[in-house]
Structure 1
């Protein structure tokens, strides 16, 4: 029987140990700190000897090349700062990650050494967020928000394992809010009568804003897509618009607040057909803007931009819609017009089409979903009634087979 080759001094060693789930392996090696002192490093949790051997070779190589980092001195905050800088993220996503880490990770577990994180400490942190995690001190975060923050942390720690900073990912044994607990807020939508009532009122109150509400309601575009629409994207003769980009608000600690234009949410362009009424109103809207300045209707000008040609601020744009809804509800009576968010104009567009029997594939393409399965999942609330219609149609086929 061949003997296992004895490792030389400085190469480290591998040992096995027993756990309640079976045999595991640990590695042991010497590393030199920046001050010249030597540290004996132990890493546990390897499932096989081969896995442990591969990890040991990696760590010894880091020691030899000066790349080794004393993890006991690297905090979670320090690691996450480095991790975000290495990601390929859209500006808005990077801003969201940074904000959530700053407000909800750094404050609670950011000082914890990376290799001291445990599943229990992470579960305890999530429970604190649910109870009192709001930055304004007014209660806890929603299960949906906590799950989103946990997902960021899990991704970061998965990379830490992949790059040799951790032997195991502690989040693998955690209990974040479940998908059912993290359901999005209830989706709201207007009826066709309510949408028509609001648009008619808006035209008499603020014709320029009414054009924006109509574009959103009649095309299902996302807010950022509509605000980034340029006249070269609009073909009034062919009656369609090309949705190629989106603009979003990005906040960073160093640069403050800025509007950044980028691709659509899926990264794909799409074409959305327009109805004759919307085309007519866009022609009138364009003529009005042309009378103010020819610069507002040149090919590169923003369709829904400000009168100075700049992007409209997305959050102020949404607040303007909310204000209009409030005024319209006072005018009609609150029972005549439910309160919805700006994004719910997109839901209204999809819901009305699906309820009227438009194929899911067509609606999915108009909305710019990556596939029709997403549309079915988001708008499953529409389908019970549609299923009843399908059942009645099938029964009618058998009642009158000829």
Structure 2
């Protein structure tokens, strides 16, 4: 057995201690203060001696080069309350961050000092969220939600490192749910006959709502983008729509909720061309709205507004779609209209175009994706057949 070399006084030390979760290791080292004195630092929570040794070498190197940062003594909940106010976020994103901090980060972690957080502590927190994290007591959070909350904490602590309040980000040493585990629910899409069947039925039931479903299916717009669309954004003669903004629900604790308009998801405007059938439907819809009130068809009026001209509530709009799909299935047969969500009209738009051979770049621009890579990733289920078709087309070119 090789005897370990005894560390010199300036080399720091590693010690093992016991916890209910098993053995853990701490490191102990000295760092110089600005007044010339030294301070002894203890850091706990390492799960192996090897991890502790790596961390000790890193801390000693920082002390030698003057890069060592004294850990913040501020509580995490106080730090997060300050941090969220400094972030440039849309109102809906800020509200979402604040809600998740309040419900899922503050209660279990908020009382800890920022400088005392460790990777194992973050891991334990996430495993508890997965097991019992729902605020209503209904069990654990999904892997997708846990990863989202973890991302908020990671971003906040990354800023603490940049600001000199932490030397390392403890989330770098933790294991959040993987992207594969946090994958969103499998998307559903209608076939062209199923979509046409539903739109025809919906138009006979409620032409006002049916215009909304048709617009989403024909353009691939997001729900909030369609509900923020104004008549001045539509050029019926040129058969084009300018997608410039989106509306969402913003909730603040103690202040209820409000509908707030903001930029699109990517922050970029785009122009989407319309088919002749959708243009004709929009002309008829506008004439019908104008008969109700001239105010509903002014350039500044919302296209899919309530009859008083106000924004439709996005979540209620989705529920109306779900209810109509259920009624359509009952009226026409469950095999005629499969169950999908409102957002799946966007997936239907993209899937039908890609399957028909429309270039990915064109589809990406219609959807408002930040890049065609996102479109390829999201709709990779469409590509195998397209690849075979491309090979057959190439062979036909050679034969020709």
Pick the TM interval, shorter chain.
0.7 to 0.9
In structure 2, the partner of 1:116 is: 116
Q: For the Cα contact (< 8 Å) 1:91–1:250, is it kept in 2?
A: yes
Measured in 2, the distance between the counterparts of 1:233 and 1:125 equals 47
C-alpha contact 1:189 1:344 (8 A) present in aligned 2 = yes
Q: CA deviation at 1:142?
A: 1.0
Q: Measured at CA, do residues 50 and 119 of structure 1 come closer, stay the same or move farther in structure 2, by a change above 3 Å?
A: closer
**Shift in CA distance, 225/114, structure 1 to aligned 2, threshold 3 Å:** same
Q: Deviations over 1:232-288 (max 9, x none)?
A: 000001111100111111111143211111111111111000111111111111011
Residue 339 of structure 1 corresponds to 339
Output aligned runs, 1:81-160, within 5 Å.
81-160=81-160
Q: Does 1:210 align with 2:207?
A: no
- Matched with 2:66 is 53
TM (norm. structure 2) is: 0.86
Mapped to 2, the partners of 1:341 and 1:47 lie a distance apart of 55
Which structure 1 segments of 5+ residues have no match?
Answer: 1-13, 32-38, 60-69
CA distance in 1, matches of 2:112, 2:279: 58
Give the C-alpha shift of residue 390 in structure 1. 1.6
Partners of 1:25 and 1:49 within 8 A in 2: no
In structure 2, the gaps of 5 or more residues are 1-8, 16-26, 44-57
Quickly say closer, same or farther: Cα 1:26–1:209, change in 2 above 3 A: farther
Count of residues paired in the alignment: 365
What do the CA deviations read for 1:285-335 (whole angstroms, capped 9, x no partner)? Answer: 101111111111111000001111100000001001111011001111112
Residue 201 (structure 1) aligned with residue 214 (structure 2): no
Partner in structure 2 of residue 8 of structure 1: none
Matched, 1:352 2:352: yes
Give the Cα separation in 1 of the matches to 2:11 and 2:163: 23
Structure 1 residue 26: Cα displacement: 4.7
C-alpha contact 1:231 1:303 (8 A) present in aligned 2:
yes
1:68-83 correspondence runs (5 A): 71-72=72-73, 74-83=74-83
Query: Distance in 2 between the 1:322 and 1:263 partners?
Result: 26
2:238 counterpart residue number: 238
After TM superposition, the structure 1 = structure 2 runs for residues 227-376 of structure 1, keeping only pairs within 5 Å, are: 227-376=227-376
Residue 31 of structure 2 corresponds to 27
Q: SS of the counterpart of 2:299?
A: coil
Secondary structure at 1:171 match in 2: helix
Is the 1:25–1:52 Cα contact (8 Å) retained in structure 2? Answer: no
- Deviations 1:105-143 (Å, cap 9, x if unpaired)? 112111112222111111011011111111221121111
1:117–1:49: structure 2 CA closer, same or farther, 3 Å change rule?
A: closer
- Name the SS of the counterpart of 2:79 in structure 1: helix
TM-score (norm 1): 0.86
Distance of 2:292 and 2:32 partners within structure 1: 75
Could you tell me how far apart the structure 2 residues matched to 1:354 and 1:51 are?
58
Distance 2:40 2:101 in 1: 29
- C-alpha spacing 1:83/1:396, structure 2 compared with 1 (3 Å): same
- Secondary structure in 1 matching 2:66: helix
